[in-house]
Amino acid sequence: MSDGSAIWGPIWPASSSSLLDPGWWAHLFQVILCPLLDPLLLLGHDWALVVMAVLEALCVVLVRRFTTDQAELHRLAHDRTMQKHLYVVARLIGDQAAAARHQALRTTVALRGIRHEGLPLLITVPTVLILAAWCFLRLPSEPAPAGTAITVAFYDNRLSRAAGEDRVVDLEVPPGVTLDGGPVRVLRPVTDPAETLGLPPYSEAVWTLTAPATTTPLTLRFHDGGTVLEHPLLAGGAFTPPTVLTHPGSPHATTEIRLPVYHPFGFIPGGGPFPPWMVAYLLVIVPFFFIWKRVLRVA
């Protein structure tokens, strides 16, 4: 039985315990939301990211507009500005008592405004997370090219294999996909810290293949002993399915399609734990949040 069905199998679980499977939720998310948003990728990754960030900023502002008392928030904003002005004047003329009074009033006004933030946050945070999840699925890497070499890998984190146990993995590819060097690979131990990047030792098998352009994902099947692990591959499309998959039925195994990291607009780098697409996303959504607030006159 294929363990990849947790990601690409039937949408409804066979039992209620499947609700605890993250792969089930990932598949449910892909079935419902991805068909609605994937057409944006026909514009290209850069424009899709910009459109998504601008629309998400608009969504956040509209939620704020219809879930808060805008009249009161505008009054509070006016009072805050006035108290700041009076505080500066008091400091300039040396009236420390008045300055302290106006600073305290500014704080009081700010605290009154905070009580209006709960409902907008309750609505917008899940929305932002859902749309960001779509970006996480679709924007971390460049689309897989058709007709050119693509590298795929199988990883085994069991130390017995990494210690040198001679095991093989067989990669089964669909018709039309060509493999360089045959389908069978011996798992290679990876123990050098320069290669493991701080992870425990593991073993890997790597293939190079060429796939034709398709409109629906092809299925790569990794035969690991008596277990078959599936990984979808879409070449020549506007997006690629998840490049790295874990398989709940085989927790020791991970499969990967190695693709170039997507750098928005060709130059934006990542920053620490933030991938390049997320850095670009923040660079777009933050200014547009304030632009939409100004245009729609939302406090």
Per-residue pLDDT tens listing for the chain (299 residues): 333 333 333 333 333 344 455 555 566 666 677 777 888 888 888 999 999 899 999 989 999 888 888 888 888 888 888 888 888 888 888 888 888 888 888 888 888 878 877 888 888 888 888 888 788 878 888 888 888 899 999 988 875 554 545 788 999 999 989 899 889 988 888 777 666 666 777 888 999 999 998 888 889 999 988 889 999 888 888 877 878 888 877 888 889 999 888 899 888 887 777 889 889 999 999 999 999 999 998 88
Number of neighbours of residue 287 by Cβ within 10 angstroms: 13
Token pair of 5 as six digits: 């069905």
Helix spans in the chain (H)? 5-8, 22-32, 34-37, 45-67, 70-93, 96-114, 118-138, 159-162, 193-196, 276-296
Token pair of 178 as six digits: 């060509």
Q: What sign does the CA torsion over 253, 259, 263, 267 have?
A: positive
148 by Cβ neighbours in 10 Å (0-12 / 13-18 / 19+) ranks as: exposed
Q: Which residue has the tokens 């409109």?
A: 215
Q: Facing residues of 182 across strands?
A: none
Q: Which residue has the tokens 């006035």?
A: 82
Q: pLDDT value at position 17? A: 41
Q: pLDDT value at position 9? A: 31
**Calpha distance 190→187 (Å, rounded):** 9
> CA angle 107-110-115, nearest 5°?
130
Q: pLDDT value at position 3? A: 37
Number of neighbours of residue 149 by Cβ within 10 angstroms: 11
3-state secondary structure (DSSP) of residue 227:
strand
Task: Enter the DSSP assignment of 2.
Answer: B
Is 236 within 8 Å of 213 (Cβ atoms)? Answer: yes
> CA angle 157-160-166, nearest 5°?
100
Q: pLDDT tens digits, residue range 68-85?
A: 888 888 888 888 888 888
Q: pLDDT value at position 29? A: 66
